[in-house]
Amino acid sequence: MYAGGDMTDKKPDVEADFIHLAKVALSGRGQDVQLAVHRAAKRHRDSSPRLAAELTQLLREIPSKCSPLRRHADVPLPVDIDSRLQLMRVEEHPELDHEPVLHAAIEEQLVRLIRERRKPEALLKVNLLPTRSAIFTGPPGVGKTMVARWIARELNKPLLILDLAAVMSSFLGRTGTNLRFVLDYAKSLDCVLLLDELDAIAKRRDDKGEIGELKRLVTVLLQQIDDWPSTGLLLAATNHDDLLDPAVWRRFEAVVKFPLPDQASITNMVGQLLEPHTNKASSWAKVLGIALAGHSFSDIERDILTARRISAVMETPLDDKLEALVQMDKRSKADRIAMATALVHQGLVSQRRAHELTGVSRDTIRSRATKGDDPKSRGRRASKANLRLVR
Ligand SMILES: Nc1ncnc2c1ncn2[C@@H]1O[C@H](COP(=O)(O)OP(=O)(O)OP(=O)(O)O)[C@@H](O)[C@H]1O
Ligand SMILES: [Mg+2]
C-alpha cells in the first residue's frame, strides 16, 4: 500500500493522496493517474462521499486513451503497486505476421477449442460448458504464445498476456497480489487471458527461504484457475511441464503438447517464408524440411530471414545462402549421412548433389541407400524442379 493507503478505521489521509496524485501526474503517467484517482475515490467513499462521487464521475466522463479496454471494464488496467508498471500486455485486436503451422497432432485439439466457443448452444443443449482453460507445453519457439494470439484472433476477442517471468517480483507476496489483480481484471472481460511462462513460478522453488511464499502463490494461482468463469478462455504456456506443481497441472481442462516441427511442418513453413522471394521456394522447402529437422519454428524463421538479409546486402543469390543452411557445419558425421540418405531416398536430389550438399561420399550414400531402398530408382525420381535446384 502506498503512502496514505491506510484502510483501517483511521480517516483516510487526503493530503497524502493529493501528494501521491500530484507525483504521478507530474511524471506524465496517464494510466497511473487514473488508478490513483480510482483508489482515492474508493478510499474516501465513506468519509467524503461527495469527493468520491465526483472523482468517480470524472473517471467515467474522461475516457482514457491509454487503456484500450476501458469501455469494457470499470477498472483501469492493473499495475504493480510499487513500481506502477503495467502488469500485462493487452492486444485488443490480436494480429499475426503469418499463420501458424499446426502439427497434425495438435491441430484438431486447437480447432476444437475454437469451435466450442463458436457453438456454445450445441454444448449447452447437452448441459456442457466450453473448455474453460488449457495449458500449452513444449520446447521454446514452437508457437505456444503465437497460437494463443491466433485463438484470440479467431474468436475475435482481446488477448491479455501476463508474462509470469516478467512479473515474478523480488517480493513473492506481491506476485500473488499482482496475479490476483490481473485475474480479477480479466474475469470482468470477455477475453482470452494467457499466463505466459508459467514455469517462472516453479523455477523459484530452489530457494529454500521462499518455500512458504511460493506455496501461498501457488494457492492463489489454484484458486484463481478454479474461479475462472467459462465465459472467458484461460490459457497458460510453459516449456518446463516437469517443473509445474501437479496440482496446477491438474486444474487445466485441456493439455496441448506442442512438438518440434516435423518434416511436413518445416516444409510448409519454409515454403511460406520463401514463396515471395524465389521461384524455387517449393524445392528448397522440401530439401530444408529434411535439413532443418530438430529446429524450432522460430529458429527456422530466423535462419531464413538471415539468409535473405545476407543475400540482399552482399548481393549474392539467395540460393547460395539457402545452400549454406543445408550445409551447416556443426552437424555430426552421422547426421550428415542420415540427411544425405534421406534427400536421395525421398527423390529430392541426385546422389551427386547430395554429396555436394552434405560432404558425404557418394559411395557411402549409395551403400546406405541400397540398404533401405533401390537408390537408382529413387534417385531418378528426383523431380525436375528439384533437379533444377541441384543445378
Ligand atoms: N507453429 C508455428 N507456425 C508458424 N510460425 C511459428 C510457429 N511457432 C513459432 N513460430 C514463429 O516463431 C515465433 C516465436 O514463437 P512463439 O513465441 O509462439 O514460441 P513459444 O512456443 O511461445 O516459445 P517460448 O517457450 O520461448 O515462449 C513466432 O512469432 C513465429 O514467428
Ligand atoms: Mg512463448
- Cα distances (Å, whole numbers) of residue 103 to 138, 234, 275, 373, 375: 12, 22, 20, 28, 30
Please state, in angstroms and rounded to a whole number, the distance separating the CA atoms of residues 193 and 157.
10
Spacing, Cα 55 to ligand 2 middle (Å): 39
What single-letter DSSP state applies at residue 382? S
Please tell me the residue having the least CA distance from ligand 1 atom 26.
140
- State the Cα–Cα distance between residues 231 and 40, nearest whole angstrom: 31
Q: pTM of the full predicted structure?
A: 0.75
Q: Answer with the residue of higher pLDDT: 305 or 5.
A: 305
User: Ligand 2 centre from 137 Cα, in Å?
Assistant: 10
pLDDT tens for residues 234-276?
Answer: 999 999 888 788 888 889 999 999 999 999 999 999 999 998 8
Q: Is the pLDDT of residue 349 over 80?
A: yes
Distance of CA 369 from the midpoint of ligand 1 (Å): 35
What CA–CA distances, in Å, run from 185 to 1, 30, 189, 201, 369? Answer: 19, 19, 7, 20, 60
As a whole number of angstroms, the distance between CA 360 and CA 357 comes to: 8
Q: Can you tell me which atom of ligand 1 is nearest the CA of 148? A: 18
Residue 269 CB less than 6 A away from ligand 1? yes
The strand pairing partners of 195, in sequence order, are: 162, 236
How many A from CA of 140 to the centre of ligand 2? 7
CB 175 within 8 A of CB 218: no
Find the helix or strand (DSSP H, E) in which 229 lies.
none
Within 10 Å of residue 8's Cβ, how many Cβ atoms? 6
Ligand 1 atom nearest to 261, measured from its CA: 1
Note the pLDDT tens digit of each residue in 37-68.
878 888 888 888 999 888 888 877 665 444 44
What's residue 78's pLDDT?
A: 76
Residues near 230 by beta carbon (within 8 Å), at least 6 away in sequence: 129, 130, 132
CB of residue 141 inside a 6 A radius of ligand 1: yes
Strand partners of residue 160: 90, 193
Q: What is the CATH number of domain 104-257?
A: 3.40.50.300
pLDDT for the residue numbered 310: 93
Say yes or no: CB of residue 271 within 6 Å of ligand 1.
no
Indicate the SS3 state at residue 189.
Answer: coil
Contact 244, 253 (CB under 8 A): no
Domain residue limits, the chain: 1-64, 104-257, 263-390
Closest ligand, as measured to the CA of 102: 1
> How confident is the model at residue 332, as a pLDDT?
84
Reported residue count of the chain is 391
pLDDT at 122 (0 to 100) = 87
Cα–Cα distance, 63 to 341 (Å, whole number) = 64
Q: Whose CA is nearest to atom 11 of ligand 1?
A: 298
Strand order in the sheet with 254-257: 89-91, 159-163, 192-196, 233-238, 133-137, 254-257
The whole-angstrom separation of Cα 215 and Cα 176 is: 10
All three cell numbers of 76? 483501469
pLDDT in tens, 99-135: 999 998 899 999 999 999 998 888 888 888 899 999 9
Separation of CA 221 and ligand 1 centre (Å): 25
At 284 the pLDDT is 93
Question: Is residue 238 within 6 Å of ligand 1 at its C-beta?
Answer: no
Question: Which residue, 201, 260, 196, is CA-closest to 234?
Answer: 196
Closest CA to 151 of 94, 105, 220, 200: 94
**Alpha carbon distance 308, 300 (integer Å):** 12
Q: Of the ranges 66-75, 139-148, 169-178, 348-357, which one carries the lowest mean pLDDT score?
A: 66-75
Nearest residue (by CA) to ligand 1, atom 4, is: 100
| C-alpha 255 – ligand 2 centre gap (Å) | 16
Distance CA 385, CA 287 (A): 12
Ligand that comes closest to the CA of residue 305 = 1
Nearest CA residue ID for atom 9, ligand 1: 143
Per the CB < 8 A criterion, the answer to whether 186 and 89 are in contact is no
